Amino acid sequence: MNVTVRYFASIREVLGSGEQIEVPAETTLSRLRDQLIERSAKHAVVLARGRALRCALNQTLSDESAVVSEGAEVAFFPPVTGG
């Protein structure tokens, strides 16, 4: 299924504004993050497991156990972002 991933603040500076990604059914935000980390060295650095970051699913802050659905919008951003 297709998911839109958006990046904000320092993550956006490295990866751009976002991308479309194909994920299996029942994918969690945690698994999606892992899949993105595997995509490239840049992804691995800014989305690394040791880095604190927040995620939102369909514009609602979510923890990484949330399951994405077809056409979902996922956002990744640092814990503190500017206006």
* H-helix segments, the chain: 10-15, 29-37, 41-46
Assign 81 a pLDDT band (cuts: 50, 70, 90): low
pLDDT for residue 19 is more than 80: yes
Task: CATH number of the domain at 59, please.
Answer: 3.10.20.30
pLDDT for residue 29 is more than 60: yes
**pLDDT per residue over 42-72, tens digit each?**
999 999 999 999 999 999 999 999 999 999 9
The total domain count for the chain is 1
Domain for residue 82, yes or no?
A: no
**Contact call for residues 43 and 19 (beta carbons, < 8 A):** no
Domain for residue 17, yes or no?
A: yes
Domain, as residue range, for 68: 2-77
* Global confidence as pTM: 0.92
